[in-house]
């Protein structure tokens, strides 16, 4: 299985959405874990509360030892292949700094906000 890890951007003022890790899997003859979902993290919004790490049902996440510009440790996907895209992390995050989605699902969740 190939595991791609995004390197931590040392420019701590970079506020753009960072895709830290996406699970990518190459089938092989031996049993493999296919990630069903992806988690996206906005480092700069994170306040290290730890809810996402604690309540991820498949333990995808851990708090990183790196810092964002406010000194908090954002999470990262330590086991991205286990992500099911359930978005529990997104529901728990009080700072809107993380969300998960199912791979292959609509890229953006369309919301008819014009009413």
Please give the residue ranges that form the binding site for another protein (CB under 8 A): 19, 22, 24, 38, 40, 42, 45, 47-51, 54-55, 72, 87-88, 90-96, 99, 101, 103, 107-109, 111-115
Decide whether 13 or 29 has the Cβ nearer to another protein.
13
Compute the distance between CA of residue 18 and CA of residue 8 in angstroms, rounded to an integer.
9
Decide whether 22 or 64 has the Cβ nearer to another protein.
22
Decide whether 30 or 65 has the Cβ nearer to another protein.
65
Closest approach, Cβ 104 to another protein, in A, equals: 9
Residue closest to 22 by CA, chosen among 7, 10, 6: 6
Chain centroid offset of residue 16 CA: 14
Compute the distance between CA of residue 99 and CA of residue 112 in angstroms, rounded to an integer.
20
Closest approach, Cβ 10 to another protein, in A, equals: 21
Compute the distance between CA of residue 64 and CA of residue 41 in angstroms, rounded to an integer.
12
């Amino acid at each position: 299985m190939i595991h791609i890890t995004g390197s931590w951007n040392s420019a701590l003022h970079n506020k753009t959405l960072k895709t830290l890790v996406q699970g990518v899997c190459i089938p092989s003859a031996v049993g493999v874990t296919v990630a069903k979902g992806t988690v996206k993290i906005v480092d700069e919004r994170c306040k290290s509360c730890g809810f996402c790490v604690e309540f991820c049902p498949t333990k995808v996440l851990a708090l990183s030892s790196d810092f964002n510009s406010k000194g908090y440790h954002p999470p990262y996907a330590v086991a991205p292949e286990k992500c099911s895209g359930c978005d529990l992390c997104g529901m728990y995050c009080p700072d809107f700094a993380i969300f998960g989605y199912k791979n292959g699902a609509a890229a953006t969740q369309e919301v008819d906000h014009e009413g």
